[in-house]
Structure 1
Amino acid sequence: MKVQTSMRIEESTFNEAKAILASLGMNFTDAVNIFASMVVQAKGLPFEVKLPNAETLQAMKEAESGDTLPIDLEAMRKSMVK
């Protein structure tokens, strides 16, 4: 027996997802049903969900602020050849 449900999703995300799914030969409902089946099969989300660690958070902060050191790719390449 099937049940009906409703959900809220950003309109732009919904429209883009529908277009991608249509190119795969399925509709949004098909994709949600596949996702739900995979959640049941995996007994959780069917992909890894992680919070970034402190090192990753620091790197993200530096990248966003532009406080990164310039990289000398040639020097890096030479150090790897040794």
Structure 2
Amino acid sequence: MTTVSIRLDDAEKLALDEMLSEMGMTLSTFYSVYTKRALRDRKIPFDIEALSDPFYSKSNLCRLRHSADQITQGKTVTKTIDELEAMESE
């Protein structure tokens, strides 16, 4: 039998202990079950994904298409930086 030591944030450890207690499980049992599942399935037993790039979100792509349509239709306004700064101070 091997002992494994891990570091957890205090608040996360407390929340995990409370959740596991409600399930009738200890932290040691939880990690034992997790390890057995990972070894049986030969993978981490949950999906790990990077957050998607918000640039490609549905709402942003819709807004980009709308802007592109406006450019195609000639619905644009051209201002210099000086003109924009003057508008800002108005």
Which TM-score band (shorter chain)? 0.5 to 0.7
Counterpart mapping for 1:1-82 below 5 A: 2-54=1-53, 57-58=54-55, 59=57
- Distance of 1:9 and 1:36 partners within structure 2: 18
Larger Rg: 2
4+ long deviations beyond 2 Å: 50-54
Alignment RMSD, CA only? 2.3
Aligned residues: 59
Q: Which has the higher contact order (CA 8 A, sep 6+)?
A: 1
**Per the alignment, in what secondary structure is the counterpart of residue 47 of structure 1?**
coil
Q: Deviations over 1:20-79 (max 9, x none)?
A: 10011011111011111111011110112222444xx323xx6xxxxxxxxxxxxxxxxx
- Runs (5+) with no aligned partner, structure 1: 63-82
- Runs (5+) with no aligned partner, structure 2: 61-90
TM-score (norm 2): 0.56
